Structure formats: structure tokens, C-alpha cells
Structure 1
Amino acid sequence: MLLHRQPDLTVIMDNVNKAHNLSAIIRSCDGVGIDEIHAVSYRKSIYAKQNAAAGASKWLTLTLHPDIASAYRKVSACGMQILVATGKEGSRDFRAIDYTVPTALVMGAEWDGISEEAIKGADHAITVPMFGMVESLNVSVATAVILFEAQRQRAEKGMYKRQQLEENCFERMLFEHAYPRLSREFREKECAYPRLDADGRICSNEQKNAGQ
């Protein structure tokens, strides 16, 4: 799982508020190898739901932001292009975008849609073409459709065949997933994690420090 993680691909949820949509988006993100996602909350009730949804998956991190500007600053600092999903005129077909470059996908709220501030700060506006009577897909479904196009492009380029995580991040996450209880104890003590051998066991000369 860690070998397939895509640290330069993420999702920003702009005030998404329904718990089932939050959980579904998290599942889709994990499915395409995303390690960290972001959420913007303008309402306390939504913040609480998003915070609760963060526990829907132990395999990725949900970072909460007070406004879209702070979320954009975070992903822009990582060199990501920012894409907003919207049905507004002039939006590009989501399949016409190159997702093999660092990318942050912004999805709007069920109540209000994508905010004007989010649209203005993005690099591109994209849309999922619709040919029926309904104007748009459910936000979690639309997120999945777009993300799996990103996965397709990245798989074709071989980006799932080579490690994308930096080595120190890979080793940290490996220990935390393999030894969740021990990792909590080491964090509480502010101690460095012990090294693991090729089979995932704590190296024998460090077992004493690990309490084994």
C-alpha cells in the first residue's frame, strides 16, 4: 500500500457536510493511493462531521482548514495545480486534464456548490459532462469519477510502480501501520521509532528500547 501512495495527489473538500459523502470520498481517495486530504469548514456543525469522518479510515490523514485560502496555500506550497469541479460554463472536460503532475482536486458542498473564492483561486475549472436530465453527480460520485481518471493516467505512466513517498516518510508510516500501539507510545515519549528489518520486525538490537 505504501509503495503505491501518491503524495502529490490530493482532494480539498470545500464545505462538504454530509457524513456519508465524507466517508465515501475518503474511501475513493484511499483507493487511488492518496495519503492526505483537506477539508474546509465554515460551519461548526460541518467541522464536527468532518472531524468525525477523519476516523473513517486509518490509512490517510484528513487536515482541516478554516478557509479555502489556507488550504490553497498548503497545496500551492507543494507545487500542485488546483482544479475545481464545477458545472459553470467554460469548464473543461475532466478527461482533458493532465493528472500526472502534482494535483489538488477541489470538490464543493452539497448545499452551496463550489464557492466563488475557490473558483477564483484555482488554475482550472473542470466538469463531468452530463447528458441526462440531472445537472450534476453526487459529490462523492463525481470525486470518484475524476480520481479514477487520475489513477488511470498515473498507472499508464508507471507512477504506481515506483515509490513516490520520501524514504523517511515511508519508514515512519510503515512503523505506524505495523505497530500502532508502539508508535503511540514512542510519540508520547517523543522518542524516535526503532528500525525495522526486511521482514517488518523490529531490529533485534532495538527490541529492548521498543519494550519487546
Structure 2
Amino acid sequence: MSEAGRAGDEPRLGDPGFLVPERKARIDAVVANRTRTLTVVMEAFADPQNVNAVLRTCEAFGIQALHVVEGPMKPYDRNKKISQNADKWLDVTRWRSTRECLERLKADGFAIYVTHLDEGARPLAELSFAGKVALVFGNEHRGVSDDALALADASYAIPMRGFVQSLNVSVAAAISIAKAVERREIDRGRHGDLPEADAAALRERFYLLAVKQRARIAKAEAAVLRREARRGRTSS
């Protein structure tokens, strides 16, 4: 039983007792559809708006962890209007270099799939998503780097049927992620796959984030604890 359910106890910050049942059920459903075995790498994006648009797409499709390789242009920065606060629900890791990022992912068992227009590029639907996969999206002007190509397990392209032969990177990411989730559900049987301990920790974190005026509540809790501590010192 949670602290909120014990007689005489007040709910603590982050306890689901602070949430209406509908909000708690929504958070539980979201966590059940979260994954860390599909991730996204944004390589030296020049336009912060594209970064924030990809953050929003990742959150919408249940991708919990993603990676930003900082480039020479304006660094990653959050934009609440574009991301719709998606980043507060995500785990974003920043990297100084593509090689460092992708070597770590490969060491963790991820296959690296890069978007790249070359003769060896395959449709994304032909690639396997049975294991861990990282989708890499390159800079808006230069595409993926030589390091990304050298470390890639496969390159893929989105089939184009019009005169235009390229897409905005955030649009390409949205199409790729949607197709990847679809393939995962075929290859793995489901998309959400967090271990229970990870899921429990994420639920608690989301309960906390979902509580309105949580800073005021935390301050009030701290004041209560200080008063209790003073009473304990006085009575001893």
C-alpha cells in the first residue's frame, strides 16, 4: 500500500495519491508503451526547431532515451512551443562527438541505422527491429557524417515518389520512427518493453512531474519535516 493509503499519513510528493485516477491511468499506460531499445541520434542539427520537433515525435511514439551530438551551429536548446514540453518526459544525452556516441551505443548492443542516399541504402521496412536499434539523423545540410557511415550497420532511405528528393530532417525522423515502431511490433510482438524496475521508477518520476505546483508542495513538505525534526530534538 502506498503512503497515501495508510491511515493518518499524508501523501508525499510524487505519490499517485496526488493525482486524479484518470491522470494516473494515463501515466501508467504511457509507461507501459515506453522503450529504451529503440533510440534516436540527432547529429549536429543546425536548427534547434528541428531538434525540438524530433523530441516531440520521440515522446509521442514512446521512445524514452535519445541522443544529441552537439555541432558547430547553435547548440540544442528546448523550445516549449515546438516540443510541447516533450523533453521533460524524456532522457536526453548530449555528446561532443558522433564517434563517442555511436561507439557507446554499439557497445550496448545497438544496431546503427543511418539515413543516407547511396546505392546501398535500403527501405527501412526491410531492416530488422528484433533487437536494439539506433536511428541516426544527420545535419540538415551535410547529412550524416563520415564517422556515422563508418560505424553504421545499415543505411536506409525513405522512398520518394515525387519531384522532390529530400525531406526536412524532422519530417524524415517522424516517418522513420513511425515505421520503426510498426516494424518493432511485428518483429518483437510489442513496442513497450521496459523492465519492471525501470518502469516503476519512471512511473514515480512521471507522477512527480504531473503534480501541479509541485515546487510549492515540496517546499511545504520540507517545512513539515523541519518542524518534526525540531520537535524531536526538543522532546529528547
**TM-score > 0.5 by shorter chain:** yes
State the distance in 1 between where 2:130 and 2:47 align: 30
Alignment-derived partner of residue 150 in structure 1: 180
State the distance in 2 between where 1:144 and 1:98 align: 18
SS at match of 2:78: helix
State the distance in 2 between where 1:46 and 1:114 align: 18
Alignment-derived partner of residue 32 in structure 2: 3
TM-score of the two chains, using structure 2 as the length reference: 0.70
Matched-pair contact (CA < 8 Å) for 1:14–1:108? yes
- Does structure 1 residue 31 correspond to structure 2 residue 60? yes
Alignment-derived partner of residue 74 in structure 2: 46
Q: CA deviation at 1:12?
A: 0.4
Q: CA deviation at 1:159?
A: 1.3
Matched-pair contact (CA < 8 Å) for 2:45–2:140? yes
Unaligned 5+ residue runs, structure 1?
Answer: 190-207
1:13-36 residue CA offsets vs partner (Å, 9 max, x unmatched): 111121221111111111221001
Q: Which runs of 4+ in 1 moved over 6 A?
A: none
Matched-pair contact (CA < 8 Å) for 2:52–2:78? no
State the distance in 2 between where 1:77 and 1:32 align: 25
Alignment-derived partner of residue 122 in structure 1: 152
Q: CA deviation at 1:172?
A: 1.5
1:36-185 to structure 2, matched below 5 A, reads 36-43=65-72, 45-47=73-75, 50-52=76-78, 56-156=86-186, 157-160=188-191, 164-180=193-209, 181=214
Count of equivalent residues: 181
Task: State the Cα RMSD in Å.
Answer: 2.3
State the distance in 1 between where 2:99 and 2:114 align: 14
Q: CA deviation at 1:147?
A: 1.0
State the distance in 2 between where 1:16 and 1:146 align: 17
- Taking a change above 3 Å as real, the CA distance of residues 51 and 70 of structure 1, as seen in their structure-2 partners, is farther
Q: CA deviation at 1:155?
A: 2.5
SS at match of 1:46: coil
Matched-pair contact (CA < 8 Å) for 1:15–1:46? no
Q: Could you tell me which amino acid in structure 1 is paired with residue 97 of structure 2?
A: D
Alignment-derived partner of residue 20 in structure 1: 49
Q: CA deviation at 1:56?
A: 4.5
SS at match of 2:112: strand
Moved more, 60-69 or 127-136: 127-136
State the distance in 1 between where 2:128 and 2:99 align: 24
State the distance in 2 between where 1:85 and 1:58 align: 27
